Structure 1
Amino acid sequence: MKAIITKSSIFLILMNLVFIACSKKEDFTEDEVQVITLENGLTFRESSLRNQEVIFKLIDDDGNEITEVTYFVDGVAIEGTTFQSPVEGTFEVYAEFMQDGETVASETKPLHVIIPKQKLVLEDYTGTWCGYCPAVTASLAELEGLNLPLTVVAIHNGDELTLPFETALREGLNVPFGSPRARINRTITWGTPSPANFPVEEVSDLAGMDSSVGIAINSQVQGNQLIVTVNVASENSIDNHKLVVYVTESSILSDQENYYNNDPNSPYFGLGEVMEGFSQEHVWRASLTNILGDEIPTTPALTEYIENFAFEIPQDFVVENLDLVVMVVNQDNTAINSQHAAVNENKPYE
């Protein structure tokens, strides 16, 4: 029997084909890679200088390095485990690897490539007996309110906060005796002691300049031990430089002589000829290096110089109020750059 195909039959066949075609959905989307969280995970130096090599590592939950891995920077796979950039910027880094037969990814972390900014060192030669010394304190407070990149050390003399090697420091830096005195980057005179005048502009005009040297600080308190690691790197080779590492303490309450009690232009007006319970800030409490610095061995450009320290914390120190101050200085003791960080803080290159 012959099959008879009519126009209506052809129309029904075509409609069925269209229905079938429209019912099928093609999935052109790619399967998303699952992101997993590892206890240690992706590790690298989070802040680096231009052209400085950064080494990526991926650590599993047992503390072992995962070696079969591909690293991605800004979504682009790189060869090997290292990366460097000739320009500053923030880059997004993650890793892909195999787990239980499937490709998975680590969490994404930022990598900062920077030009270091110079943190000016401000040293305040002071004493609780010194009635004019609050003039420096007032200028420092004003500068800190400007959020400038600064590192401050208050060096006491003639009071209970004086260190036994304060005299040697003054002599080494050619700072005359008597207070108030103040220095920028250790060797530049700031202001005048008589009349006591410490203009903020003398500091602010110098702040925020680029530096070739970066300083990073990492520390932990273990029992009564302060464990410190200092990293130094430079875009130029390091030669004839020294490393200075101090411990400072803030919020130390003591009575402070005040010659500004009757000066309505002073923030200390009306607070008494002796300000009771005055908060002493950034007080120099210890030196982990020679007070004028330890020699840094000649170090090639973009190579990290790393130094470790251990310091037994005296019982009268308040750990929560302690800071670390690090300086890299020339042979003439002028500070090239500085960094400061609270104890138990990890402070990268900035």
Structure 2
Amino acid sequence: MNKFGLIGFFVALFCCFSCSNEYKILEPVESISLTADSSVKVIGETIVFSVTTNSGTNITEEATIFVNNTLIDGNTFTGSETGDLMIKAEYLGVESAPITIRFHDGSETNFIKRVLIEDYTGTWCGNCPRVNHAVELAYAQTDKIVTVGIHRSSSNPADANYDPFNFDTSELEAIVNISGYPRALLNRMTRWTPLEQNNITQVINLTQGENPKLGLAMTTSIDGSTLNLETNVKFSKNFSNIKLVIYVLENGLIYDQVNYTNFYTGPGTISNFQHNHVLRACLTPLLGESIANSNSGLGQTYTKTISVPVPSNIANLNNIEFVAFIVDENNKSINVRKAGVGENQDFEEL
């Protein structure tokens, strides 16, 4: 090969390698934005950061992130002390506006506030549809209601006050100490003033105001003929002398309802009336199972796990509901939560 051929060979080889390389032309970045998945976290929890350019391109992996001017590894940070932290990001010499993240000891956490309605009723009770109607009116204004239908009074079909869904709550009724039916109790110990349909605000008001410092979350399932329930209670302050109550309810139960009111079909008997939220079993003592003071402190989570046979009085497994609530030393409900079958709930933190 002559000199010119050799030169041509190397020129061609250079061009070949040059053409095989790909060069990425970076778009000009005028500004970048730093965001976090939360601005407030409890000590020990992790915050996740994201960084984007002014054009919306996600550059989290390429950017560098600083916490109080100290470079961190990656885009997550777990706080170990209380206080405010200043966070910023940098990319190709462009710096984001700083954001502030606060870590606290758990005492700033609040939970959604729900009101418990325990409706003492009966299929034989002609005035009881009045409360059922009032509950429907309350639900039309808020979803922060948990209703339990406690059917009374006799399980003997020969009795005039026979109710096929009768559930013995004598122990609880002795504490409530209010005679006659219907009667509806709010948060277990406060009478819903009759005529209930004229006092809906009494219910709504109990969902307002200061939020509770404890919340509940349930994980539920049915495995064959076994009910599985895990109830978790999280505390954002110290509690003492509290108890946990867990109910099993059933919806869609059909039975004639005596009616003295003008609601629904009016006075007479309502054929094939649908009874919902009917109490079928209590998985704890009726007045509650004590939670030790050592397990109900700030930042703690108490867990109660139950696996029991499906109650024999359940007609349809698909219509089961669970209700869990915490009562104080005066038997007043502090907060309440309901769940269907197959739920895996998170705490309703605010």
TM-score range, shorter-chain basis?
0.5 to 0.7
1:120 CA displacement: 0.5
* Structure-2 separation of matches of 1:339 and 1:234: 15
TM-score (norm 1): 0.67
1:315 CA displacement: 4.6
* Structure-1 separation of matches of 2:312 and 2:183: 30
Tell me which of 132, 136, 142 is aligned to 1:141: 136
* Structure-1 separation of matches of 2:286 and 2:198: 25
Q: Secondary structure at the match of 2:230?
A: strand
- CA deviation vs aligned residue, 1:39-85 (integer Å, no higher than 9, x gap): xxxxxxx99x9526447xxxxxxxxxxxxxxx8444662356x7899
What percentage of aligned pairs have identical amino acids? Answer: 27
* Structure-2 separation of matches of 1:139 and 1:156: 17
Query: Which residue does 2:171 correspond to in 1?
Result: 168
Query: Aligned Cα RMSD in Å?
Result: 3.1
The answer to whether the 8 Å contact 1:126/1:155 transfers is yes
Query: Which residue does 1:258 correspond to in 2?
Result: 259
* Structure-1 separation of matches of 2:126 and 2:116: 24
For this pair of structures, how many residues does the alignment match? 262
* Structure-2 separation of matches of 1:130 and 1:86: 58
Q: Secondary structure at the match of 1:277?
A: strand
1:232 and 2:230 equivalent?
no
Unpaired segments ≥5 residues, structure 2 = 1-20, 28-36, 51-59, 61-73, 85-107, 154-162
Tell me which of 304, 309, 329 is aligned to 1:307: 304
The answer to whether the 8 Å contact 2:255/2:271 transfers is yes
Query: Which residue does 1:283 correspond to in 2?
Result: 278
* Structure-1 separation of matches of 2:83 and 2:233: 19
**Which range moved further: 200-209 or 232-241?**
200-209
The answer to whether the 8 Å contact 2:109/2:213 transfers is no
Do the aligned partners of residues 223 and 178 (structure 1) sit closer, same or farther apart at CA in structure 2, a change above 3 Å counting?
same
* Structure-2 separation of matches of 1:297 and 1:243: 11
* Structure-2 separation of matches of 1:85 and 1:290: 39
The answer to whether the 8 Å contact 2:126/2:260 transfers is yes
Do the aligned partners of residues 54 and 277 (structure 1) sit closer, same or farther apart at CA in structure 2, a change above 3 Å counting?
farther
Q: Secondary structure at the match of 1:347?
A: coil
Q: Secondary structure at the match of 2:42?
A: coil
* Structure-2 separation of matches of 1:323 and 1:83: 39
Q: Secondary structure at the match of 1:136?
A: helix
Do the aligned partners of residues 73 and 175 (structure 1) sit closer, same or farther apart at CA in structure 2, a change above 3 Å counting?
farther
1:200 and 2:204 equivalent?
no
**Which range moved further: 323-332 or 175-184?**
175-184
The answer to whether the 8 Å contact 1:50/1:235 transfers is no
**Which range moved further: 211-220 or 155-164?**
155-164
* Structure-1 separation of matches of 2:241 and 2:44: 24
* Structure-1 separation of matches of 2:341 and 2:189: 27
Query: Which residue does 1:65 correspond to in 2?
Result: none
The answer to whether the 8 Å contact 2:109/2:236 transfers is no
TM-score (norm 2): 0.67
Tell me which of 118, 121, 126 is aligned to 1:123: 118
